[in-house]
A and B are shown apart, each in its own frame.
With several copies, the nearest count.
Chain A
Amino acid sequence: MYWLTAIVRPFKLNDVYDKLIDEGIGGMTVTEVKGLGSQRSTTEVYRGASYSNDFIPKIKIEIAVSEDSLERIIEAIVESAKTGKPGDGKIFVSKIQQAYRIRTNEIDLDAI
């Protein structure tokens, strides 16, 4: 099993979500985060003092996936999250040892 962490643009969340549902994933967990990367932040002026928020709002999507579907899901995210401009985000993949479904005590592939 793999743990897939995708950082995407907030306004792409809906597209990614629709796409992943199409791909038949059963669940995911979403967090509001702030990101720093090659994307430059905009500068605002407040009462004459300019300021820029170095950190840009992003959405982190975490999904536990089986080995089989890993490639397909990465594909799906890349496709639905891309705009081509800096700031589109990244996907990171790591291994999970175990998974449990609290409600049923099911484990591993049955749990996700």
Chain B
Amino acid sequence: MNTEALAFEHNYIFNTIFLLFSGALVMWMAAGFSMLEAGLVRSKNTTEILTKNLLLYALACIAYQVLGFDIMYVDNATAGWLPSFGFGIDATAEGATQPREVDFFFQVVFVATAMSIVSGAVAERMKLSAFLIFSIFMTAVIYPVEGYWTWGAGFLGASVEDGGMGFSDFAGSGIVHLAGAMAALSGVILLGPRKGRYSSKGVKAMPGANMPLVALGTFILWMGWLGFNGGSQLTLNSIEDANAVGKIFLNTNAAAAAGALVAYLLSTIIYGKADLTLIVNGALAGLVTITAAPDSPTPAQAVLFGGIGAGIAFFAINFFDKIKIDDPVGAISVHGVAGIVGVMLVPFTKDVSFLTQFIGIAVISAWVFGASFVVWFAIKKIMGVRISEQDEYHGADASECGIEAYPEFVGSQS
């Protein structure tokens, strides 16, 4: 066996191991979102949000396999905007540096992440069936189309030499997180706030039922994010790759840490107490922020960026309550606002213009918000998106799933 063949084979194996285990970590984020959201809703809506998370993951996997992956990656024109509909998970191209199945697996878990973001924001009042139908559109079409425009080398993501804009979003602050937040935002607007949330007396607190789940979900997401950002290097078969991935792990972890600390400080200064739910939002906002470019900042910059993103998201949470956008888990602030911050910070450490980044954000937001709005609106007209007032009062667990999350614990909180 000659050295080149050996190097090729080993590189192929390196990439496979790396992407599969990174992908497993990203898959694990589905559990993180489930636990986080289950902890932040009231107990009467807990089973429903768990069911929603499990089923959205399942639906995303199938929808992306049947259609989404083809739209996003197969046979598309470079720097174009209209995707083709080639079909091809199975075929590993000649000379590819890893199996096509591995590419697919790593990509499919990203789709599920984008969709998971939505479920928290619409919690405690949406029909399960309406949500699941939206999931199909989101994961089969809406996300893949903007995915093609960016990572699929469409008009946004293709390099300037190739006729694209050279939009830069390493692991998806905009492409995944902002997109998820925009789909959530359009849904929340059509859906309205939870009953009793906003009244003349101000904003009514609706405390989450289970804080250990909130912390657990956050740790799971933190861990999974190492695979999310690390794996986005896509190959690990050279010293350069190894250096990059090492830096990504370090920076990702540091940005999350900084985000948690900034939220802690703000919560303590402004509200006098260390609100755990805001602190976890801070950590996650730090992660979302660094995701657009985890490979280029110095560790000190990563701390700074994570802190900035978390700080802005902190105030955004309040802002959305002011304008009566009811987001029980803070998803729109954490993934949307911090996602924008992340994308706009890229020019500080990479050679790309603010304008390009801004256009990228605008295009992604407009597309995802608009297309989602149309889908939500159609669902609303055809079958309704919201459970009845009585069902909302008694909880979605009873109306949608028929089983209580904690049948033996809860007093008549309702």
Direct contact of A and B (CB under 8 A): yes
Which of A's residues lie within 8 Å of B, judged by CB?
10-11, 32, 44-51, 57-59
Tell me whether B402 and A45 are in contact (CB under 8 A).
Answer: yes
Chain B neighbourhood of A48, CB < 8 A: 203, 270-271, 278, 317-318, 321
**Shortest beta-carbon distance from A70 to chain B in Å:** 27
**Shortest beta-carbon distance from B81 to chain A in Å:** 40
Complex: chain B residue closest to A47, CB-CB:
B277
> Given contacts A47-B277, A57-B411, could you give 12 more A-B pairs where the C-beta distance is less than 8 Å?
A10-B412, A32-B411, A44-B402, A44-B403, A46-B275, A47-B205, A47-B275, A47-B330, A48-B318, A48-B321, A49-B205, A49-B321
Question: Is B86 in the interface zone, CB < 8 Å from A?
Answer: no
Which of B's residues lie within 8 Å of A, judged by CB?
202-207, 270-273, 275, 277-278, 317-318, 321, 330, 393, 398, 402-403, 411-414
Tell me whether A49 and B271 are in contact (CB under 8 A).
Answer: no
Chain B neighbourhood of A49, CB < 8 A: 202-205, 321
Tell me whether A46 and B412 are in contact (CB under 8 A).
Answer: no
Closest 6 CB pairs of A and B: A57-B412, A51-B205, A49-B203, A46-B205, A10-B412, A49-B205
**Shortest beta-carbon distance from B202 to chain A in Å:** 7
**Shortest beta-carbon distance from A12 to chain B in Å:** 11
**Shortest beta-carbon distance from A26 to chain B in Å:** 22
CA distance A28 to B80 in the complex (A): 70
Chain B neighbourhood of A58, CB < 8 A: 412
CA distance A61 to B202 in the complex (A): 28
Chain B neighbourhood of A50, CB < 8 A: 202, 205
Chain A neighbourhood of B412, CB < 8 A: 10, 32, 57-59
Pick 9 A–B contacts, CB within 8 A, sort by A. A11-B393, A45-B271, A45-B272, A46-B275, A46-B403, A48-B318, A49-B204, A50-B205, A57-B412
CA distance A57 to B44 in the complex (A): 14
CA distance A10 to B317 in the complex (A): 31
**Shortest beta-carbon distance from B27 to chain A in Å:** 27
**Shortest beta-carbon distance from A78 to chain B in Å:** 21
Chain B neighbourhood of A47, CB < 8 A: 205, 275, 277-278, 317, 330
A11-B393, A49-B321 known; A44-B205 Cβ under 8 A: yes
CA distance A58 to B414 in the complex (A): 10
Which of A10, A49, A57 has the most chain B CB atoms inside 10 A of its CB?
A49
CA distance A44 to B267 in the complex (A): 13
CA distance A9 to B405 in the complex (A): 22
**Shortest beta-carbon distance from B263 to chain A in Å:** 11
CA distance A46 to B206 in the complex (A): 8
**Shortest beta-carbon distance from A47 to chain B in Å:** 6
Chain A neighbourhood of B398, CB < 8 A: 44
Tell me whether A46 and B207 are in contact (CB under 8 A).
Answer: yes
Tell me whether A46 and B402 are in contact (CB under 8 A).
Answer: yes
Complex: chain A residue closest to B393, CB-CB:
A11
Complex: chain B residue closest to A57, CB-CB:
B412
Complex: chain A residue closest to B411, CB-CB:
A32
Chain A neighbourhood of B403, CB < 8 A: 44, 46
CA distance A11 to B321 in the complex (A): 25
CA distance A46 to B270 in the complex (A): 12
Chain B neighbourhood of A46, CB < 8 A: 205-207, 275, 277, 402-403
A50-B205, A51-B204, A51-B205 known; A45-B414 Cβ under 8 A: no
Chain B neighbourhood of A44, CB < 8 A: 205, 398, 402-403
**Shortest beta-carbon distance from B141 to chain A in Å:** 34
Chain A neighbourhood of B318, CB < 8 A: 48
CA distance A80 to B325 in the complex (A): 31
**Shortest beta-carbon distance from A19 to chain B in Å:** 17
CA distance A32 to B402 in the complex (A): 22
Tell me whether B204 and A11 are in contact (CB under 8 A).
Answer: no
**Shortest beta-carbon distance from B192 to chain A in Å:** 17
Chain B neighbourhood of A45, CB < 8 A: 205, 271-273, 275, 402
Chain A neighbourhood of B204, CB < 8 A: 49, 51
Complex: chain A residue closest to B315, CB-CB:
A48
CA distance A31 to B414 in the complex (A): 13
Chain A neighbourhood of B202, CB < 8 A: 49-50
**Shortest beta-carbon distance from B65 to chain A in Å:** 29
Chain B neighbourhood of A32, CB < 8 A: 411-412
CA distance A110 to B273 in the complex (A): 39
CA distance A97 to B122 in the complex (A): 50
CA distance A74 to B7 in the complex (A): 87
CA distance A50 to B204 in the complex (A): 7
**Shortest beta-carbon distance from B47 to chain A in Å:** 11
CA distance A50 to B273 in the complex (A): 12
Chain A neighbourhood of B272, CB < 8 A: 45
CA distance A71 to B126 in the complex (A): 43
